[in-house]
């Protein structure tokens, strides 16, 4: 099913870290913000990395991101996707990521999963010229990777 990205990128002028996913999940699209599926481990991991409790409310998540100079967006502006399955993604149209880069202070790019990493490198790296680091997908479908192992991987964000 064709999905269009409906959530604006979250960033500020002083954002230094950009974390890219592929496409918001149905729950995230419904709630209007990133990584909002209740079993997604993204917010838990970021809280653990920075040793902070991140609340459930979107404004608290935004405040956390601002304090840590983290921007969020996705590689895909639209694509064919089944539910939230990255492996099903086809016919990708990418987001114009340069507007985030030009209007912020992005120095580091991380992707949440292999598909986002692959798409970033295929479509966006040549324009952006910032090497991305691939993090584990925090998706609830990626249950084979323990939270502890994910946390080790995500520690790279805190430089």
- Residue 54 included in any domain: yes
- Residue 159 included in any domain: no
Residue 144 structural domain: 2-154
What are the structure tokens assigned to 67, written together?
């304090």
Residue 115 has pLDDT above 90, yes or no: yes
Q: Which of 119, 81, 115, 80 is nearest to 97 (CA)?
A: 119
> Which CATH number characterizes residue 68's domain?
3.40.470.10
Distance between start and end Cα atoms, the chain = 39
What are 33-61's pLDDT values in tens digits?
A: 999 999 999 999 999 999 999 988 999 99
- Give CA–CA dist 97/143, Å, rounded: 30
- Residue 62 included in any domain: yes
- Residue 70 included in any domain: yes
pLDDT of residue 110: 98
pLDDT of residue 8: 96
Point out the least confidently predicted range of 53-57, 60-64, 71-75, 120-124.
Answer: 53-57
Per the CB < 8 A criterion, the answer to whether 18 and 108 are in contact is yes
Q: How many domains are contained in the chain?
A: 1
- Residue 113 included in any domain: yes
What are 11-40's pLDDT values in tens digits?
A: 999 999 999 999 888 899 999 999 999 999
Per the CB < 8 A criterion, the answer to whether 61 and 55 are in contact is yes
- Residue 143 included in any domain: yes
Residue 2 has pLDDT above 80, yes or no: yes
What are 123-135's pLDDT values in tens digits?
A: 999 999 999 999 9
Residues labelled catalytic: 40
Share of the chain above pLDDT 90, in %: 79
Per the CB < 8 A criterion, the answer to whether 127 and 37 are in contact is no
Largest CA distance in the chain: 39
What are the structure tokens assigned to 25, written together?
């999940």
What are 83-106's pLDDT values in tens digits?
A: 877 788 899 999 999 999 999 999
- Residue 93 included in any domain: yes
**What does the mean pLDDT of the chain come to?**
94
């Amino acid at each position: 099913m064709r999905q269009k990205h409906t959530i604006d990128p979250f960033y500020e002028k002083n954002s230094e870290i950009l974390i890219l996913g592929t496409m918001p999940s149905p729950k995230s699209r419904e709630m209007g913000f990133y990584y909002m599926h209740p079993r997604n481990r993204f917010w838990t991991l970021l809280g653990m990395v920075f040793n902070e409790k991140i609340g459930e409310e979107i404004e608290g998540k935004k405040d956390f991101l601002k304090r840590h100079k983290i921007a969020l967006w996705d590689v895909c502006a639209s694509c064919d996707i089944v539910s939230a399955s990255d492996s099903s993604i086809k016919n990708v149209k990418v987001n114009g990521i340069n507007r985030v880069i030009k209007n912020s202070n992005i120095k580091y790019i991380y992707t949440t999963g292999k598909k986002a990493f692959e798409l970033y490198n295929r479509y966006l790296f040549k324009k952006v010229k910032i090497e991305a680091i691939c993090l584990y997908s925090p998706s609830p479908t990626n249950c084979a990777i323990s939270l502890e192992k994910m946390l080790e991987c995500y520690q790279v964000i805190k430089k």
